[in-house]
Each structure stands twice: as structure tokens, then as C-alpha cells.
Amino acid sequence: MKLTALKRLLIAGLFALGLTVMATANPALAGHWQLDTTQSTALDGWNKMDLTIGLDGSKVSVDYRMQWRATVHEATNVFDTDTPVALDEFFRVEQRHMAVYPAKHGVTKAVAKWIDGDKTLLTEALTPVEVSQGDVMMRITTEYRVSETGDRLTVIELHSSRNRPLVYVFNKVTGEDAK
């Protein structure tokens, strides 16, 4: 079959569109989200949690802003839905009253993909943690689900070491809310 210039252009356009759709499968995930503590699993040792999620091609960045009294801690995890990543400073929402710490010089391997008709982001991180018996691996599987109306984000986090998932519910912060 010979491809005409028009057909080539059409195929190239569809391919480009497909890539775009794959990379930003759910643009509603992007934005600033604020934890609704009344709907969420209780934080331990933190008072507040904000997420800012950015989508850039296959890259998904999750910025954390955690607060305990006057102490503010900010961290970012960057995933890639096309390829596994290795993170030197992976941030885990700690239950801070547990003696579980990021392992010194530990490298976290993480993968990400869009699932459920590209509506939900799924990440899986293998992160080394330090406990009293030494360094051990924790697998953290996380789903980021945006509501149909786009104003609520539910983050479900399951640890290989914990039978009960941690469920964090966020409300979208719009420009008006932020003022």
C-alpha cells in the first residue's frame, strides 16, 4: 500500500495525538490539592498535607508540603509513566511516631502507569527503610483517583508491610480558594 502525503500526515497526527493522550491521560489530576482530614486516615505527626501534581509528557511530579506545628517539610517525587525511575530522595508520608526512617543513601525504584481507562494513576515504589533490625524494603502501591467532577482526589496507599490501606482525600484548591 502506498501512503499518500495526506495519509502520512493523518497517521502522524493520530500517533502524536495518541502519545499526548497516553502522557496526560487525566489532566484533571494536575493542580493543587489540600487534604481533607475529616475524610482521611488520620495523619500521625503531621497536621496538614498539600499536594501539587504536575503533568509533563510522561512525567508526573508530586510535590508534598507537609506541616507539623511551625515545621514545614517540602519534597517532590517525580515518576515517569514510560520508564522506571530511581529516586535518591523518595518521600514517603511517614507515620512519624513509628521508628521507620528512610534508609541512609537508599535508592527507591518506582514505576507509574495510567489504569482504569487512563483515569487513575498507579505508582509502585520499592523503597528501603531503616528499622531497628536494619534496612528492609517496603513496597508502596498508590492509586490517585480523581472524582467525576474533578474537585476531589482520593489517594489510596498500600504498604507491603501494612494490611490496612491509608486513604487520603484531597479537595482541589482553585485560584479563588487560594486567595
Partner 1 sequence: MNLIKRYITLAAMVAMLGTTTVFAAEQPESGKNYGVDAWFIHFDLDWNVNGGLPEKALLVSLQGLANRNAPQLYIVHPPEFQWEITGPLFDFYQRKHGVKFHELQSADAALTQFKDVAKGYVVWDKNVGASLNVAFTIAGVEDVVVVSEELIPLVEQHGLKQFDDLRGRYTGKTDAEIYQDAYNKYWDRCAKDRVMLMGGNHGAVRMPGMADWGVEQKMFFHDLSANLNNPAHQAELALTRRIFSELEPGGYVFGWHSYGKDTEEQYTTLLSMYGLRMEGLHNLPNLSFNNQFTFTPGFKFTNNHSMPLDAKLMAEEKVYISFVQSDSIGIGVWTKPGRGKLPFGWQVTMNWTEFSPAALEYFHESATPNDYFIGGLSGPGYMYPNSIPADRFPILMKRARELMALLDEHIMEIMDNTAADGNVGNTDLTKETVDAYYREFPDVIGFINGYGPARTRDLRDTRPMISYEYYIDPRRPRDQVAADLNELIALNSKRPYYLLVHVRESNDVNSLVEITKQLEGPIEIVPIDRFLKLAASKKTYTTRYQDPEDPKHFEGFPKE
Instruction: Determine the size of the site formed for partner 1 (CB under 8 A).
Output: 28
At its nearest, how many Å lie between partner 1 and the CB of residue 132? 5
149 forms part of the interface with partner 1 (CB under 8 A):
no
* Contact indicator for 146, 125 with CB cutoff of 8 Å: no
At its nearest, how many Å lie between partner 1 and the CB of residue 166? 9
* Contact indicator for 60, 53 with CB cutoff of 8 Å: yes
At its nearest, how many Å lie between partner 1 and the CB of residue 35? 15
Radius of gyration of the chain (CA): 19
Q: For residue 108, give the 3-state DSSP assignment.
A: strand
Indicate which single residue of 130, 143, 154, 171 sits in contact with partner 1 (rule: CB under 8 A): 130
38 forms part of the interface with partner 1 (CB under 8 A):
no
Binding letters toward partner 1, positions 42-81, x by CB under 8 A = x-xx----------------------xx-x----------
Phi, psi dihedrals of residue 44, rounded to the nearest 5°:
-125, 110
Burial code (b: 16+ CB inside 10 Å, e: under 16) for 14-41 equals eeeeeeeeebbbbebbbbbbbbeeeebb
* Site residues, partner 1 (CB under 8 A): 41-42, 44-45, 68-69, 71, 95-101, 104, 129-134, 136, 138, 159, 161-164
